[in-house]
Amino acid sequence: MKQLSIAKPVRGVGIGLHKGEPIEILLEPLEANSGIVFFRSDLNLSYKAQANNVIDTKMATVIGDDKGFVSTIEHLMSAINAYGIDNIRIVLNANEAPIMDGSSISFCMMLDEAGIKELDAPKQIMVIKKAVEVRDGDRFVRLLPTKIPRINYTIKFDNPIIGEQNYNFEFSKKNYIEQIARARTFGFLKDANALRAMNLGLGASLENAIILDDNKILNPEGLRFKDEFVRHKILDAIGDLTLLGYRVFGDYISYAGSHHLNHLLTKEVLKDSSAYEIVSVEKGYEEAYEGVFA
């Protein structure tokens, strides 16, 4: 199995979640062993999507440095991961990726338009060899060795609409598109008002997020899935784990996880070389790997 990029450039435009302004996005092919690279065209700065470039995880996953940053990358990264793309350049003219409809389906459509190109280099994956866990009270995220990668995610909110939800997802591109890609981000009306008071969340609307008050969903169309909330958390986790720099072959389990815990998990994995093995797919794992990420 070979590394993948996209076959041709593709452009899009969407609103930024925090500034509420139009953002141009261009996806471009990259050669083998380049990785996933974000390029700020307005600053002429590049940032590789990897754990050591993460600078914030409060409300989204943010990469950058003291010269600039790119925020809200997790939905796009999630789609890139699901499509098995190893090398791609994402050109943005602002400090955040566009929110689109609050899910990753628009990015999936862009990748479908661009097409997938096989490169002349073997694909490499990160095979988890032992359990790695990060906890914060009763909240935790965990990676485990596996033969078939799955994500088991549980959320619990003190809100009657969400409550406690669990979803068990078996990772494949097909399953991702059918079960996860359309799940939207969500938030509470009181928090949205607080963010706007801080000049943030200016692009949030019923067009790109599920908005709830104390006892109902404000979106007139309702939910896309009855458990859309936990499905979106899985979407986020898939994006965050892409920052390990390789496609992860392991089980991910979470209870009340977050971008912050996911980031701590990636750092915990990378600091322990006995926790994983980087494997060339041409040398093994072909049967188990086939269909999982591509």
Could you list the residues known to form a binding site for Zn(2+), using ranges: 75, 232, 236
- Point out the annotated binding site: 75, 232, 236
Coil vs helix vs strand at 83: coil
Active site residue 259: yes
Q: What are phi and psi of 270, to 5 degrees?
A: -70, -25
Residue that has been written with the tokens 């939800």 in this structure:
165
- How far apart are the C-alpha atoms of 141 and 237, rounded to whole Å? 10
For residues 110 and 88, the answer to whether their CB atoms sit within 8 Å is no
Where does the chain show beta strands of DSSP type E?
Answer: 2-6, 10-15, 22-29, 36-40, 45-48, 54-56, 62-65, 68-70, 88-92, 116-122, 124-128, 132-136, 139-144, 150-156, 164-170, 186-188, 210-212, 247-249, 251-255, 276-280
Q: Please say whether the dihedral angle defined by the alpha carbons of residues 97, 167, 252 and 263, taken in this order, is positive or negative.
A: positive
- How far apart are the C-alpha atoms of 105 and 115, rounded to whole Å? 15
Q: How many CA atoms lie within 13 A of 88 on its CB side?
A: 31
Of 51, 3, 4, the closest CA to residue 241 belongs to 51
- How far apart are the C-alpha atoms of 15 and 102, rounded to whole Å? 10
Q: How many helices (H) and strands (E) does the chain have?
A: 7, 20
Q: Which listed residue (18, 259, 260, 263) is catalytic?
A: 259
The distance from CA 15 to its chain's CA centroid, rounded to whole angstroms, is 18
Supply the residues annotated as catalytic: 259
